[in-house]
Amino acid sequence: MPEFSVLDFHERAVRTPSHEDVGEMRDLLVGTLREHGCDPEVDDAGNVLASKGTGTPHYVLNTHIDTVPPHVPFSRDGDVVEGRGSCDAKGPLAALLAAFLAVDPAEGRVTLAITPDEETDSTGAAALDLDADGVVVGEPTDLEACTSARGRFQGTVELTGEGAHAAEPGTGANAVGAAEHALEAVRTYDAARGAAEHPELGPPTLTPTRIAGGDAANRVPDECTIVFDRRTVPPETQTDFFEGFAAYVRDAVPDHVGVDVDPAERETPFLEAFDTPDDSAVVDALVAAGAGGPRPFGAATEASYFAADAPTVVFGPGVLADDDGPVAHSQREYVRQSDVERAAGVVTDALDSLV
C-alpha cells in the first residue's frame, strides 16, 4: 500500500477545479481512500463517507470539497501554496484525510464525512445523520480550535401598498415611502428586542442588503422589497428571529401598507449559531495536541448542523483573512504547507487520545 503524502494530495486537490462541479474532486478523494485500503461510499446526497473501527465513542471528521468561483490555478512559492480552495477547504481536507488514514482506533469509531455543497445549499450536510460523540469540522482557523460561530439567515420584507397617480399621492398607499419605517425597524430591532450579546461572538447583526420598488417615475409604487442578512448568536433560532422581527416591522410600518417578513427559500435549514462547551472531550483533545484557542470562528459553517447533536469544533490550516485583506474566497487565497502538515498531526494526535 502506498504511503500517503498530505502535501501531494493537497497539491492535486488544489489543481482540481470544484467550483462548478465537484465530480472530479470527489473522484480524487474516493480514489485516494481506496488506494489506502478504505472502502468509501458516496450517498444519495453526494457525501463521501468512510469509517474505521466500531462502537463508541464515535468521532466524525467533516469538511467540504466544493469551492467558490472562479477557479484560481495552483502555484507554490516555498512554503506557500496559492490557488482556489488551498485554504477553504482543501488544506483542511488534506489534513483531516491524513489523520483519518493514520488513526487505528483501539476502541470506538472514526468517520470521514465530506460534503459536496457547503458553499451553496448544504444539502449534503443536511442529509447526514451520524450519531457522533464529537465532530471536527475542517475550515481555515489558523490552527486554533473554534468552539462557536454565528449563524446566518436571509429574508425579505415585502411592503404592499396601493398604486396611484403621482399627481395625487394621497389617493394611494406608497410602499416605497413605507420603506423608511421598515429600514428604521431593521436598524433598531436588536436594541429593542433582539438577542442579547454573546460573551464570545458579540452582538447579532441585521443588515439591509438590497431594496427594490416602483415601476414608473410618475406612479405611486404599490410594492417594495427589502432583502436583509441576519448574523445570529446563541441561543437565537430561526423561529425566534423571524417571528419577533415580523411583529416588530408590522408595528413600525403604517397600517395602510401591508407587511410580510419571509425567510429566503432554500431546500435546507439555515446555518444556525452554535456554542460548544470549552471542556468537551473533543476540544480538550485538540488543545492538548497543539491546537490554539478555544475561540470563536468568524464565518457561518456546516458545523451548525452537527453541533445540535454533538460537541463540534472548527479547526484547520489557513486563515479567512490576514493583515493584507481577504484570503479565503479571494484571488490571493493561500495556505502554508507547514500548517497543513501541522494540522494533520494535531488531529491525528487528538484522535489517538479519543479512540
Average pLDDT, the chain: 96
The pLDDT, as a whole number, for residue 81 is 98
Tell me the residue type at 37. Answer: G
Q: How many CB atoms lie within 10 A of CB 330?
A: 17
pTM exceeds 0.85, yes or no = yes
The answer to whether residue 1 scores a pLDDT higher than 80 is no
Q: By the 8 A CB rule, do 116 and 26 touch?
A: yes
What is d(CA 194, CA 187) in angstroms, rounded to the nearest whole number? 11
Q: By the 8 A CB rule, do 266 and 259 touch?
A: no
The answer to whether residue 186 scores a pLDDT higher than 90 is yes
**Helix segments in the chain, DSSP class H:** 6-15, 23-35, 90-102, 123-126, 179-193, 238-252, 281-288, 303-307, 337-354
Pairing of strands 134-138, 58-64: parallel
What is d(CA 55, CA 62) in angstroms, rounded to the nearest whole number? 19
pLDDT tens digit sequence for 219-238: 999 999 999 999 999 999 99
The pLDDT, as a whole number, for residue 300 is 86
- Torsion on CA atoms 7, 13, 14, 16, rounded to nearest 10: 150
The pLDDT, as a whole number, for residue 299 is 87
The pLDDT, as a whole number, for residue 29 is 98
The answer to whether residue 252 scores a pLDDT higher than 80 is yes
The answer to whether residue 246 scores a pLDDT higher than 80 is yes
The pLDDT, as a whole number, for residue 293 is 84
The pLDDT, as a whole number, for residue 295 is 95
pLDDT band, very low/low/confident/very high, at 96 (cuts 50, 70, 90): very high
- Return the residue matching grid coordinates 485500503: 37
What is d(CA 221, CA 333) in angstroms, rounded to the nearest whole number? 44
pLDDT tens digit sequence for 139-153: 999 999 999 999 999
* Lowest-pLDDT choice from 1-5, 57-61, 206-210: 1-5
- Looking at the chain, the whole-number percentage of residues with pLDDT higher than 70 is 100
- Torsion on CA atoms 254, 260, 264, 268, rounded to nearest 10: 140
What is d(CA 174, CA 256) in angstroms, rounded to the nearest whole number? 9
pLDDT band, very low/low/confident/very high, at 161 (cuts 50, 70, 90): very high
The answer to whether residue 102 scores a pLDDT higher than 90 is yes
Q: By the 8 A CB rule, do 36 and 1 touch?
A: yes
Mean per-residue pLDDT for 11-15? 98
Structural domains present in the chain: 6-149+273-354 (3.40.630.10), 151-263 (3.30.70.360)
The pLDDT, as a whole number, for residue 253 is 98
Measured CA to CA in angstroms, residue 312 lies from 3, 62, 138, 274, 346 at distances of 30, 10, 11, 9, 16
The answer to whether residue 2 scores a pLDDT higher than 90 is no
The secondary structure element, H or E, covering residue 323 is none
The pLDDT, as a whole number, for residue 263 is 97
